Amino acid sequence: MGGCLYVVGLGPSGLDKLTLGTYRLIKSAEKTFIRTERHPCAQDLIKEGVKFESFDNIYDQGESFEQVYEKIVERLREELKVHKEVVYAVPGHPTVAEQTVQIIWESLAKEYQVKIYPAVSFIDEVMCSIPFDPIHGLVLRNHDSLGSGILRGKDWVIVTQVYDKFIASELKLDLMQYYPDDLQVYIVQALGTENQRVLEIPLYELDHHDFDHLTSIVIPPREDFGIARLLEVMQSLRSPEGCPWDKEQTHQSLKPYLIEESYEVIDAIDKGDMYNLCEELGDLLLQVVFHSQVAAEAGEFNFHDVVKGITEKLIRRHPHVFADVQADTSAEVLKNWEKIKREEKGDAKEKKEFFDLPDALPALMLAQRVQKKAAKFGFDWSDLNGPMDKIQEELKELQEAISCGRGISEEMGDLLFAIVNLSRFLELEAEETLRVTILKFKRRFHRMYELAKLDRQNFEDLSLAEMDRYWDQVKKEEKCAKII
């Protein structure tokens, strides 16, 4: 193995925060490089008469950070071919938020000795300026690497390299997806220097201030949000000291609520009520969390297993996004999806069960899905006349069943199934089509009541003929409204 590269940290501020060992190494080194001389310690070293070369010119000329990092590492490689010992100094601690050091480990460490000299990091200064204990949870991230999986609300969060208002504005919008707008956060600048500044502000004001390359944002814990908090609440409700009703629930007893909440979500979507949709989606999520907690207590699975399973399934079933499979249209995507499903479930099950559908689906929806499955095997009408004729056939058989008083329910079912088939041929969703008609009927019925009330009629006392007249009047109103 060739020469030795010493990677040292300059600390967060001036020379007084530099370790004695690092200072002696830099003073005695044959060749020293500093990532940037735009750092208080670098300026102090210049005053001390220390000779070094900075990589600021590479930063100024580089088109991207990746290109800059590669050029720095390549320059260090060339210097190690000439010198037995080379010092590379970076701001702060060498292994905290320092991408070049990570690249050095991945590449140069295979060819040369690489020794790390620790330093006081800016995290130490943050903990001194805003006293907190990281043992309770600390997340350190760059401004462009935040996400819901990281922001749990339980941890202190330090966001580095917020060096201008544009980044601050983007960061504010990202954080406001998870935190309250008025959450008090901290802007920390030039920590450990005579220009140190710690400013506590509400989150919505984050981009109203000045920023530089020594600026970070600190977000305190806020435990009243996030999926982790929801899981904790559910655990508490099911605990021995929790709610009597919640503790009694089982998968079976919760079934009606799962169905009800699903339809309330659909209702909010149909009404275009986004405020209510947000609330209803929360109620639906509660059902998922509830069932997961019941299963966890039985040692079967937990919420994280649910999340892991669906995440892996999405990646597996979207190879056109996460792998090298080509799928340019929705039809191609669906074809791949079905193929992957068959592979997952195995050929044996595919032969045993053609209709891999839950029987608990609403009947109209189940009928249409079953018909689509059968059609894929070629069991289908050749044109629209087929389902039209079938309806007439089934209607006649129903009339005969009514006449003889036998098989009425079965024949009615056959007729409904035939009507669903016609809906499929017309590319209509039978479930949704009937729902629209039901809503239309409800609207017209309410309008009948209003018209009778305007005429000072008691609606409950109206005859069927009188109701029919109001019904016709409502239909005429609708027709006129459409013309207008």
Evaluate whether 383 touches 397 at the Cβ level (below 8 Å): no
Q: Which residues pair with 11 in a beta bridge?
A: 92
Task: State the pLDDT at residue 149.
Answer: 60
Task: State the pLDDT at residue 406.
Answer: 92
pTM greater than 0.75 = no
Q: Is residue 312 packed enough to be buried (19+ CB in 10 Å), middle (13-18) or exposed (0-12)? A: exposed
Q: CA-to-CA distance for 4 and 115, rounded, in angstroms?
A: 7
Q: What are the backbone dihedrals phi and psi of residue 2, each rounded to the nearest 5 degrees, phi first? A: -75, -140
Evaluate whether 168 touches 187 at the Cβ level (below 8 Å): no
Q: Is the dihedral of CA 82, 23, 56, 7 positive or negative?
A: positive
Q: 350-373 pLDDT, tens per residue?
A: 444 677 777 878 888 889 989 988
Q: CA-to-CA distance for 277 and 290, rounded, in angstroms?
A: 20
Q: CA-to-CA distance for 47 and 447, rounded, in angstroms?
A: 88
- In SS3 terms, 237-276 reads as HHCCCCCHHHHHCCHHHHHHHHHHHHHHHHHHHHHCCHHH
Task: State the pLDDT at residue 63.
Answer: 77
Question: If we measure between CA atoms, which residue out of 115, 116, 75, 110 comes closest to residue 2?
Answer: 110
The alpha carbon of residue 28 and the mean position of all alpha carbons in its chain are separated, in whole angstroms, by: 52
Task: State the pLDDT at residue 307.
Answer: 92
Evaluate whether 181 touches 204 at the Cβ level (below 8 Å): yes
Q: 317-360 pLDDT, tens per residue?
A: 999 888 888 888 888 888 888 788 777 776 544 444 677 777 87
Q: CA-to-CA distance for 119 and 138, rounded, in angstroms?
A: 19
Task: State the pLDDT at residue 481.
Answer: 77
Q: CA-to-CA distance for 308 and 311, rounded, in angstroms?
A: 5
Listed in order, strand segments (DSSP E) in 121-260 are: 138-142, 156-160, 184-189, 197-202, 215-219
The alpha carbon of residue 426 and the mean position of all alpha carbons in its chain are separated, in whole angstroms, by: 36
421 contacts: CB under 8 Å, gap ≥ 6: 367, 371, 381, 387, 390
3-state secondary structure of 338: helix
415 contacts: CB under 8 Å, gap ≥ 6: 391, 394, 395, 397, 398
Residues of the chain where predicted confidence (pLDDT) is lower than 70: 1-2, 147-150, 346-353, 483-484
Task: State the pLDDT at residue 332.
Answer: 84
